[in-house]
Structure 1
Amino acid sequence: MHTEHDWITTPITADLIRGALDLEHTPHGVLPHRLPARARAQNTDPQLVAAEAQPSGVRLVFRTRATSVELDTLPTKRVYAGAPPRPDGVYDLLVDGRPAAQSSVRGGGNTLTVDMTAGTATHEPGAPGTLRFDGLPDRMKNIEIWLPHNETTELVALRGNAPVEPVTAGDEGRKVWLHHGSSISHGSDAASPTAIWPALAAALGGVELINLGLAGSALLDPFTARAMRDTPADLISVKIGINLVNTDLMRLRAFGPAVHGFLDTIREGHPTTPLLVVSPLYCPIHEDTPGPTALDLTTIGTGELRFQPMGDPAERAAGKLTLNVIREELSRIVKQRTADDPNLRHLDGRALYGESDFAELPLPDQLHPDAATHRRIGERFAELAFTAPRPLFPNPEPALQKD
């Protein structure tokens, strides 16, 4: 552990944090949020409350000559009653953009115990823990500490054995990619925060990620569209579909106008920014069967989570949504809008993960990709969006980067 005379403590301020749209000051330190306070005030869904506070894509970025760095954090760890313990959240350390170390906060933190059968949750407060990274190169370098994508994390203190200074994002010359999607974009079942598919794609594409992948919450919420409207970005993507089926939230009649409204709102703040609409990945349980989706509670005690569809394919006639219905509608909407919006593009999600991919790399719980599949999706997205001969995200002209 540290001693006061060995270390220099640096206040954790907004200029050291990327990927968050807001910082909440708490009794312990700062809590990164991926939705701004105004959006959070308009939300009453506990699922979204938890998802947006999990810092997927959020990282500390700074320059230093320090060879040792410590970070105190207060995580909130989730425990599911009757299920085996979940692994501790992983922190990824990058030096000059290259993976250098991983660590976790063990033995500390708050505990949130969720009883899926009773529909209850209890919170037990805990103490902060400390991460320490030693043996860093003895030279001036850029350090990134990516926070756990699936564990709410309050930042308490940052220390090093040399001074720390912020890195201005614009100085690195990378375009900012703003992405919104479901738990798959959030990083469910990925190995670590830099191994979620949007982070992998961003690294391969050389862009700066702001990840609004919100588990269970890609629901065309107007406050999310307004948050995207008000966030500076050079490239924008929205991945729409699976959560609308999961929740059985709306019918086809409401879906089309809601998509138009979501895109209209984004365009209020980004009228010419390249905007990509991505339809759902392949998911057999909901290709032609509507939701809602339910957790198979009989598998929890074995440590295996599996999801199952609760709808009936015949309900499509009444306007219930399936993945194929959503893909067709998104394709139609984008084709219609491109007559007046030449910077709008469409990507069928099955180009990222399709039927043949499922045969090779099945979804372990019938819904979420595993670590290997996150890598495949990230590599394919990077190729299609950033590096193909005619990429879906063409390099915007300098004048377009200011909108």
Structure 2
Amino acid sequence: MRFLFVHGTGVRRERHDQLFARISGRLTERFPKAAVSSCFWGEEFGAALSMGGRSIPGRSGTRGAGDELSAVSPPDREAAEWALLLADPCCELRVLAYLEADTKAGFSMPGVRPAGAEVLDLLGKLPSDPAEGDELGDLLRATGLEPYYAEALAAISASTEAARAGARAGQEPAARELAVAVARALVAAALAAADIDADCTGAERDRMVAVLTARLGGDARVPGGRAAAVLTKLAMRATTQPALNLWRGRLTESATPALGDILRYQARGEALREHLRGRITEDEGPSVLIGHSLGGVALVDLLAQSAARGEPVAGPRLLVTVGSQAPFLHELGALSGLPPGVARLPEGFPRWLNIYDRQDLLSFVAEPVFRDDPRVTDHEVSSRQPFPPSHSAYWKIDAVYDRIAGAVEELV
């Protein structure tokens, strides 16, 4: 058995090499005798803004309106909360300062140094480049946040929000809550700066917050209190369409490589499909094709077109799409390999496992679209990250590799 990985939208050489090293290592652990290779296409077939992004509008000043929270699941609440933190890392500190100003419990006795000052002192002593072997440093390197951490630390340390919240945290309980809020702000600032280059799951994000909270004198075992509760409510009201309009410029810029590659493929996809055909057929024997994002779209197109002509591509026994737009494009009638409205793939198309994360706005489900085809199976995973980090986090999730291994075993 051999595996061929086809990367997705917005990926260029350095990012491809990082992804493939991780994916090949994880697949080799489960299939020691398998050959694992990749098809890098980003530089030759990828898109670029030829006029520097002049078409992207600026940010709107519109604010989000509230809606009911009762039907929202905890993962959705968490994702919305972190989406707000990514857009404004200091928002929780701002809320905390307001809450402390509104209660006498937040103030210390005259002449007594507020407990929050100690948190800020410890913040100022955090190293900007944690050493190798230090848990925080290792996490920063593993998640791609190391190049952005020093700037994030400087920004949060110098922020008026942190200073105001620290001055108003008079008692120890308020200081412990402040430690959590500062830690979350610092991690959010690094994630926001890294944008789609972040390679971080929700578990890694939470561990960084826990480590920083402990180093700031808080209790890493206790989540944020009043401010976090307010932030969740704000997030669920703010992350609606008006708020997306507010952040449209930044969101569009960060999504441009992914969307641009998709649009370029839709206009000039034949060359990429032929390139994929050559890579798939250059070696004989059964194969498993793994396509991320647009890589999965191109594979579905190629396999469907070839099978419809009565000339199935030789070798593939299993197609795995991860975070793919193929089902959505077919529903739009925008897949060149399939006629609109067809609910069954042509004969000769291999079994298809489609892996998605509902927080990933670029992933879609396939089973309801191809409802007449038992070869198509969906499998949901969760990185516990909001979009866009959720689109890149699949390759660190054990459940992804476990499900691929299970699908391969089913072929026997």
Determine which structure has the larger helix proportion and give its number: 2
Instruction: Tell me which of the two structures has the higher relative contact order, counting C-alpha pairs closer than 8 angstroms and 6 or more residues apart.
Output: 2
Higher-Rg member (1/2): 2
